[in-house]
Amino acid sequence: MDKNQIVDLLNRFKNEEISTEDVLEKLKKLPYGDLGYAKIDHHRGIRNGYPEVIYCEGKSLEHIQGIVKHMLKEKNVNILGTRASKEVYEGIKEITDNVEYHELARIVVVKKEEFRKTSKNILVVTGGTADIPVAEEAAITAEVLGNTVERLYDVGVAGLHRLLSNVDILFNANVIIAVAGMEGALASVVGGLVDKPVIAVPTSVGYGANFGGLSALLSMLNSCASGTSVVNIDNGFGAGYLASMINQMTEKN
């Protein structure tokens, strides 16, 4: 239940359209729903602006289906599941037809309402095409959270002219997510060109000394480009969520 639904509930009670018992029953379940194996946070949308997201990797299909069923019953909002396999998608399809699967991003979305679109946009940039799966996780997350998202892929520092020929797209963005593996230099280059927040996402793309993305992570953490922040290795979801929070805040101004 989000803020608007609570206001609607109180207005219905005020207008005598719903009984005291019905209001108490709904409010009793408001903090969280206890499924035994999972406790669904009903307050997440009130506190953080968006309902709880399902991290699917490592969960059994049965548990994921149970969580989705509960959320469908309690919330009239879109449901986002990250790190979801094709099997998870097929399992959720058994529950509802309003489901989309973004295979590259490994994201499943139960779409109960149209996504909002902000007037200001988030730009997702990658160093290479191997970084696109993580970039798509960030992009799809931001779109589901109600943002206008643009993509600029394969513009890494090995061919810097590709990035420099697209500076107008960089300058037009309100928030930029820079996704790169190898040495992770893209975030510093982008950060040195723009006056907007840059969220750097190191990926595990690279040869042996890349250490599974650790070299890119350390490079981004040591960036001398002010206004650049860093999320964890391959954490496209975290970058998309943070970018959405920044974009939504400036949208209100």
Return d(Cα 70, Cα 74) in angstroms, integer: 6
Q: What percent of the chain has pLDDT over 70?
A: 86
For residues 250 and 253, what is the distance between their CA atoms, to the nearest angstrom? 5
Say if residue 245 is in the same domain as residue 127. yes
Convert the pLDDT of each residue in 143-188 to its tens digit: 999 999 999 999 988 888 899 999 999 999 999 999 999 988 999 9
DSSP string, 85-103: -HHHHHHHHTT-S-EEEET
Lowest mean pLDDT among 71-85, 129-143, 169-183: 71-85
In this structure, are 87 and 193 located in the same domain? no
Q: What is the pLDDT of residue 39?
A: 62
Q: Is 9 part of any domain? A: no
Residue 5 is assigned to a structural domain of this protein: no
Whole-Å CA distances, 196 to 175, 217, 250:
6, 21, 11
CB 124 within 8 A of CB 231: no
If asked whether residues 198 and 231 sit together in one domain, one would say: yes
Q: Do residues 205 and 182 touch, judged by C-beta distance below 8 A? A: yes
User: Encoding tokens for residue 226?
Assistant: 């002010």
Q: Are 217 and 235 in contact (CB under 8 A)?
A: no
pLDDT tens column, 1-34: 556 667 777 788 778 878 887 776 666 656 666 5
> Which range marks the domain in which residue 71 is found?
48-110
- Which pLDDT tens digit goes with each residue over 51-61? 778 899 999 99
Q: Which amino acid is at 37?
A: Y
Which domain-ending residue is among 59, 88, 110? 110
Which tokens hold the place of 133? 């799966």
Question: Quick one: 153 and 62 in the same domain?
Answer: no
For residues 78 and 81, what is the distance between their CA atoms, to the nearest angstrom? 10
Q: The pTM is what?
A: 0.83
Going 63 to 68 to 69 to 71, the CA torsion angle's sign is positive
Q: Are residues 78 and 172 in the same domain?
A: no
Q: Are 58 and 85 in contact (CB under 8 A)?
A: no
Number of structural domains the chain divides into: 2
CATH of the domain at 215: 3.40.50.1970
Q: Which tokens belong to 208?
A: 């042996």
